[in-house]
Amino acid sequence: MTVGFVTNPNHAGHDVEGHPEGPQRLEAVLALLDECGLRNRLERIEPRDATDEELAWVHSPEFTDALRRTCADGGGWADPDTYLLPGSYAAALTAAGSTIAATDAVLSGRVDSAFCAVRPPGHHARPDQAMGFCLLNNIALAARAAQRRHGLERVAIVDIDVHHGNGTQDAFYDDPEVLYCSTHQYPFYPGTGQADEIGAGEAEGTNVNIALPAGCGDAEYRLAFQQVVEPVVRRFRPGLILVSCGFDAHYADPIGGMALSVDGYGELAQRLQALANDLCDGRLVFVLEGGYDHTAVGWGVRRILELLLGEEPAPDPQGPLGEGRTVNVEPVLAELGRRLDIP
């Protein structure tokens, strides 16, 4: 089983001291993978920049031109959370292009699956707006590459970041050929992602928001996958599954309020791998989004890569959160089941 891996050599140019979305996130991942020798067992995918033509698949030229100019002029703030520096546009361009490159590698058959360890993250980036630590929407661009370059009729995006990917939702809200399915904490930033946001026109029913209350952990996410994610993905029958993989739903994360463990992330990855094996010849691409506890991010990425390789996973040093914490998610899941006509 061949697993591709790509990272972003330009990411360190995007860095404000003390900001949670900094280079240390990715450095922790790469250090752990090198320490355990895992990176040597992966197929290296060459990072590259996204082209202007590719960016225009999702973002308006006016937006990308303004983003480029702002960074070239010294930077600033896209919103109170999202900084721009002289090196930020280059970092975002390589994150986006490298995600497309990994998708190309999977769809060309060079690798069976892939993980994109890139930053800055992307799922909050809207077609005309950078926000929520995100500059360019990496996973949305990958989905468009699958459609435009490889001719796929159906692409599924599963988002397991603690935050709703409003930018990804915006990009495909009226596109019936892309399924967007998000598990996220609600109410929480960015305030979108309610159950009644289901897509528009012919795309109605292809936008699925599993808005979970704070405190959900491994058991609750398992139920969400069993009762909603897996049935809607199977019904959609995609030719590729893309995963916005944020580790900020881990219980140790300083920003999120969820309670997933590394074991829980591993189970979700196994479920997604099983879906990909059943539906689309195993074609599966994970893309790093959030996650601000460096240990959880590093071990989360390691666990997913071990599972993709078919290896016995190493024990998680942080372990499970502990017994006795349960959240009743049945009302949320039952409402979605009725709304989406899930048997």
The answer to whether the bond into 313 is cis (omega within 30° of 0) is: no
Contact status, residue 211 vs residue 181, Cβ threshold 8 Å: no
236 phi and psi, to 5 degrees?
A: -75, -30
H helix intervals, the chain: 23-35, 52-55, 61-72, 88-107, 138-148, 166-172, 218-224, 230-236, 262-279, 294-309, 330-340
Residue type, 169: Q
Are the C-beta atoms of 285 and 243 separated by less than 8 Å? yes
**Which residue from 287, 247, 299 is spatially nearest to 113, judged by alpha carbons?**
287
Q: In which residue are the tokens 């892309």 written?
A: 178
Task: In whole angstroms, give the CA distance from residue 259 to residue 220.
Answer: 9
How far apart CA 180 and CA 208 sit, in angstroms, is: 6
Dist CA 336 CA 259 (whole Å)? 22
* Helices 294-309 + 262-279 axis angle, to 10: 30
How far apart, in whole angstroms, are the C-alpha atoms of residue 284 and residue 280?
Answer: 8
Q: What span, in angstroms and rounded, lies between the C-alpha atoms of 106 and 341?
A: 32
| Other beta carbons less than 10 A from residue 58's beta carbon | 28
Does 163 qualify as catalytic in the annotation? no
Nearest to 5 by CA among 35, 32, 30: 30
Q: Among residues 123, 124, 163, 184, which one is catalytic?
A: 124
Q: Which residues are catalytic?
A: 124
